[in-house]
Structure 1
Amino acid sequence: MAIKYGEQLLEGSRLLYGPEDISTINHLKNLNRYYDKAGRLREVAERVRLGYQVSRKHFSLNHSTTEVSRLLYYKLLIAEKDYLGAIPVVYENIAVLTDSEDDAFRRLHYLGQLHGLYGLTEQHDKREEILLEQLELNIQLMGNDTESSEKIILNLGGIYCEQKKFTKLRELMTRFDMKLQC
Structure 2
Amino acid sequence: MTQADSISKFESLILDSENAFKSGKWTQSIALGESALKACHLRLSVNNPRCIYIMKNNSLAYEQAGELIEHADKIERAYRVALLQFGPFHHFTIKTREVFYHLAVKQKRYSETIPIVIAIIHHERTNTNDELEILNKFIELYALYKKTNQVQYEVPTLESIATLTKKTMGADTDNYQQAVIALAECYCKQKNYKKFDILASRYSLDIKCD
* Alpha-carbon distance in structure 1 between the residues aligned to 2:112 and 2:152: 18
Change (3 A) 1:42 1:96: same
Counterparts of 1:29-108 in structure 2, within 5 Å, are 29-98=56-125, 102-108=129-135
1:159 corresponds to which of 183, 186, 199: 186
Q: Could you give the per-residue CA deviations for residues 105-146 of structure 1, whole angstroms, max 9, x where no partner exists?
A: 332222112101101011223111100122112223333223
* Alpha-carbon distance in structure 2 between the residues aligned to 1:8 and 1:134: 45
Query: Displacement, 1:79?
Result: 2.1
CA RMSD, Structure 1 to Structure 2 (Å): 2.4
TM-score, L = length of structure 2: 0.74
Q: Could you give the per-residue CA deviations for residues 57-84 of structure 1, whole angstroms, max 9, x where no partner exists?
A: 2224222211111112222222222211
Match of 2:49? 22
Change (3 A) 1:173 1:86: same
Q: Could you give the per-residue CA deviations for residues 1-54 of structure 1, whole angstroms, max 9, x where no partner exists?
A: 232222222223223332221111111111111112222212222212211111
* Alpha-carbon distance in structure 2 between the residues aligned to 1:50 and 1:157: 41
2:34 is the counterpart of 1:3: no
Match of 1:172? 199
2:154 corresponds to which of 116, 127, 140: 127
Percentage identity across paired residues of the two chains: 27
TM-score, L = length of structure 1: 0.83
2:181 is the counterpart of 1:149: no
Q: Could you give the per-residue CA deviations for residues 141-164 of structure 1, whole angstroms, max 9, x where no partner exists?
A: 333223231332233244245445
Which gives a bigger RCO, structure 1 or 2 (Cα 8 Å, sep 6+)? 1
Q: Which has the larger radius of gyration?
A: 2
Q: Could you tell me which runs of 5 or more consecutive residues in structure 1 were left unpaired when the two chains were aligned.
A: none
Q: Could you give the per-residue CA deviations for residues 76-101 of structure 1, whole angstroms, max 9, x where no partner exists?
A: 22222221122122222233334567
Contact 1:124 1:159 in 2 (8 A): no
Change (3 A) 1:68 1:53: same
Structure 2 counterpart SS, 1:114: helix
Contact 1:18 1:24 in 2 (8 A): yes
Q: Could you tell me which runs of 5 or more consecutive residues in structure 2 were left unpaired when the two chains were aligned.
A: 1-26
Structure 2 counterpart SS, 1:34: helix
